[in-house]
Chains A and B, each alone.
Chain A
Amino acid sequence: KAGVTQTPRYLIKTRGQQVTLSCSPISGHRSVSWYQQTPGQGLQFLFEYFSETQRNKGNFPGRFSGRQFSNSRSEMNVSTLELGDSALYLCASSKGPGQGYEQYFGPGTRLTVT
């Protein structure tokens, strides 16, 4: 069974630009969560989508947004990039609340903002 895939794997952007990251969950998984990982803050939860609806949201500014499509694929968008947005962005998929208890992570997208 194919794992979680994320594209692109690496990205370099400049301050003020916006970026869109993509995540394809494991087949049959309907829940997708996004995390940001930085050396200083560690792994932090961004948001979770289930059946095209945002179910949970972490403590991030409105510049961070996401969506989920009917095929469960998800995208996250960061607008007006800041230097502090440089991080590894991880996507995780699961079957859904109460339907399977494991989350499986993708390899991540490493975003560098210059």
Chain B
Amino acid sequence: DAKTTQPPSMDCAEGRAANLPCNHSTISGNEYVYWYRQIHSQGPQYIIHGLKNNETNEMASLIITEDRKSSTLILPHATLRDTAVYYCIVRDPIDNNDMRFGAGTRLTVKP
């Protein structure tokens, strides 16, 4: 079973920031938070991951709360091509390599 809870859908205006929340209240100390997205039943695309510090890369930023029970993925300037299903996953990358995907959030970016 997935260890995360995400809203089923969200809308965002093109050019605005998209903030996707994720709850993972049972996360353990060795588990990282990962974000992936999937477009039109293509293979999921890795976005970003983090343990406890905020992370940023060329695609997005990941904000993790101090108690690590929730996180937010931020797409700073959403485009129409960011329309996809976004998955938040918690996983221990050393001990357990399988990723348990929940239902994800369907983000629709509107012009």
Contact of B95 among A42, A94, A97, A102 (CB under 8 A): A97
Tell me, rounded to whole Å, the shortest Cβ–Cβ distance linking B96 to chain A: 7
B44: interface (CB < 8 Å): yes
Q: How far is the CA of A37 from the CA of B97 in the complex (A)?
A: 18
Instruction: Evaluate contact between A33 and B98: CB separation under 8 angstroms.
Output: yes
Total interface residues on B, using CB and 8 Å? 23
Q: Which residue of A lies closest to B100 (CB)?
A: A45
Tell me, rounded to whole Å, the shortest Cβ–Cβ distance linking B73 to chain A: 15
Q: How far is the CA of A110 from the CA of B36 in the complex (A)?
A: 20
Residues of A within 8 A of B101 (CB): 35, 42-44
A15: interface (CB < 8 Å): no
Instruction: Evaluate contact between A108 and B43: CB separation under 8 angstroms.
Output: yes
Total interface residues on A, using CB and 8 Å? 29
Residues of A within 8 A of B99 (CB): 33, 45, 103
Q: A97-B93, A98-B93, A101-B49 are in contact. Are A58 and B41 (CB under 8 A)?
A: no
A31: interface (CB < 8 Å): yes
Mask, B81-103, CB within 8 Å of A = 1, is 00000010000011111111111
Residues of B within 8 A of A45 (CB): 98-100
A25: interface (CB < 8 Å): no
Mask, B19-54, CB within 8 Å of A = 1, is 000000000000010101000011111100100000
Instruction: Evaluate contact between B49 and A102: CB separation under 8 angstroms.
Output: yes
Q: Which residue of B lies closest to A104 (CB)?
A: B46
Q: Which residue of A lies closest to B41 (CB)?
A: A88
In the complex, the 5 A-B pairs of residues with the closest C-beta atoms, listed nearest first:
A105-B43, A43-B101, A45-B98, A98-B94, A101-B93
A21: interface (CB < 8 Å): no
Mask, A37-63, CB within 8 Å of B = 1, is 100001111001010000110100000
